[in-house]
Structure 1
């Protein structure tokens, strides 16, 4: 009689106890990660990506409030699909990459929404202008690897992306959707 009761107590204790070893995802896998964007030019949907970025990450799904993320994007690594457009967008009227070589996102808070969905609050700095943003993201654990997917719409006018004749939004729309996938391993 005592043995089944002891086995049941041990099984219940193991099921109810918090995980002894949670995984902290903190090694970004650049080759499996990407940052892209979408926008409309003359009403036509366009997209592109950034070929170079660095990110630091610390995320434990059991303690999302303690998560931290920093992403630095090399703006000169833009790939719009044509070399001519890449050169134009890196220039002074758009990103002005000589004066502002990187865009930076730094998280300030992470809130779990349940079902592997999160809101990541932080600051986004482009061309020396910093704005608070909230980024919806999902997290998909795959063993010792996890993948963060999300998107955020910004207004290019808020960051002075497109000056002079490009400041108007009749040719290139004001809304730019940033899309990302960050893969990270942990232990």
Structure 2
């Protein structure tokens, strides 16, 4: 007689092996990808980017209901390109990297809009704060490469980014525009 734990492990292994072919093929190509942000300080745009981020994909254009996207960002990799500003970003006032090293997005649904356009809905977690977001994106394929691009406006104060004196939106605007261009391999034909 097979022990229930052994049977459970075998079933889990079988399910994992069935799911692996799609997700194992799909991956983010970080060297060909970009994740940037733009905010306004005293009305003047300031731009930066994240150097480290990753995605876990199980995206099938023919089966959007079962497709999933998870994205993580190393908040300590943020840069505005100026040493004095970059040294402030990891602080508790801004990203609080020691306590919250990663920002995460997890999809709950993907909707096709036609012509390579999609709406990705899910939860965005930054600095321990969770918000439901809708991410409009465009996917373009060239051979085996799929490029996903879009812009997501967020309200920084909803994520407690810029606490204390920096919560004053006359100094730093509440809206931050996060733009992305992600190169992916292994995505099926759109």
Q: Normalised by the shorter chain, which TM-score bucket?
A: 0.7 to 0.9
What secondary structure is seen at the aligned counterpart in 2 of 1:93?
Answer: coil
Structure 2 counterpart of 1:50: 50
Shift of 1:93: 0.6
Structure 1 counterpart of 2:32: 32
Q: 1:80 & 1:123 partners in 2: Cα distance? A: 26
Aligned residues: 165
1:30-72 deviations in whole A, cap 9, x for unaligned?
1111111011111011111000111111222233333211111
Structure 1 counterpart of 2:122: 122
What secondary structure is seen at the aligned counterpart in 2 of 1:90?
Answer: coil
Return the TM-score normalized by structure 2. Answer: 0.83
What secondary structure is seen at the aligned counterpart in 1 of 2:88?
Answer: helix
Q: 2:147 & 2:59 partners in 1: Cα distance? A: 11
Structure 2 counterpart of 1:68: 68
Shift of 1:135: 0.2
Structure 1 counterpart of 2:156: 156
Q: 2:174 & 2:27 partners in 1: Cα distance? A: 34
1:2-49 deviations in whole A, cap 9, x for unaligned?
xxxxxxxxxxxxxxxxxxxxx987121111111110111110111110
Shift of 1:143: 1.7
Work out which of the two has the higher radius of gyration on C-alpha atoms and give 1 or 2. 1
Return the TM-score normalized by structure 1. Answer: 0.84
Aligned counterparts, 1:57-136, within 5 A: 57-136=57-136
Contact 2:27 2:55 in 1 (8 A): no
Shift of 1:75: 0.5
Q: Could you list the runs of 4 or more consecutive aligned residues of structure 1 that deviate by over 6 angstroms after TM superposition?
A: none
Q: CA RMSD in A?
A: 1.5
Structure 2 counterpart of 1:10: none
Query: Where do 5+ consecutive residues of structure 2 fail to align?
Result: 1-21
What secondary structure is seen at the aligned counterpart in 1 of 2:35?
Answer: strand
Is 1:168 aligned to residue 168 of structure 2?
yes
